[in-house]
Amino acid sequence: MRITGHYYVHQLLGNAEFAAPEVIKGTPVSLATDIWSLGVLTYVMLSGVSPFLDESSEETCMNICRVDFSFPLEYFTSVSQAAQDFIRATLQMDARWRPTVATCLLHPWLQPHYSNYSKIPLDTTRLTAFIERRSHQNDVRPLPNAKCFIVNRNAMGT
């Protein structure tokens, strides 16, 4: 880990799918980087699928750096628009546009008096399958040259 001012730069460990674009690119990170991860975790917990995961680490990194995600109806039919709005707010490319922790806590979706929340319990079958798949992976290994995925792809004009 390298400290620069109030930001940190460190090697990407584990699976790229939870990493913010700045981690993938090897640029300084801040508290807003954790807000990105909160958004990914929220997406996974509500849907049971990962928003950026693709066939390879390279494609996953590219999806993250393009902020290429959606809310497929097959996974989000019972997820409120407020919850989806919360996820959108946290998954901003520019870390300066991500909400702070305090702002996240004030989001209508997290308010106990929010009247438009779904009374239908979430189907956790896909989340259970997601957790089971993840339990067979070794998440504490460096992802080599994640930054080069982006640099090389950008150099090719894609």
What pTM, to 2 d.p., does this model score?
Answer: 0.75
Residue type, 30: S
Q: What is the pLDDT of residues 41-50, one digit of tens each?
A: 999 999 989 9
Q: Which residues, at least 6 apart from 63, have a Cβ–Cβ distance to it below 8 Å?
A: 52, 53, 54, 69
Q: How many CB atoms lie within 10 A of CB 117?
A: 14
Domain extents for the chain? Answer: 2-153
What is the enclosing helix (H) or strand (E) of 87?
helix 81-90
Q: What is the pLDDT of residues 96-146, one digit of tens each?
A: 999 999 999 999 998 877 655 556 666 777 777 777 776 655 554 555 555
Task: Tell me which architecture the domain covering 2-153 has in CATH.
Answer: Orthogonal Bundle (1.10)
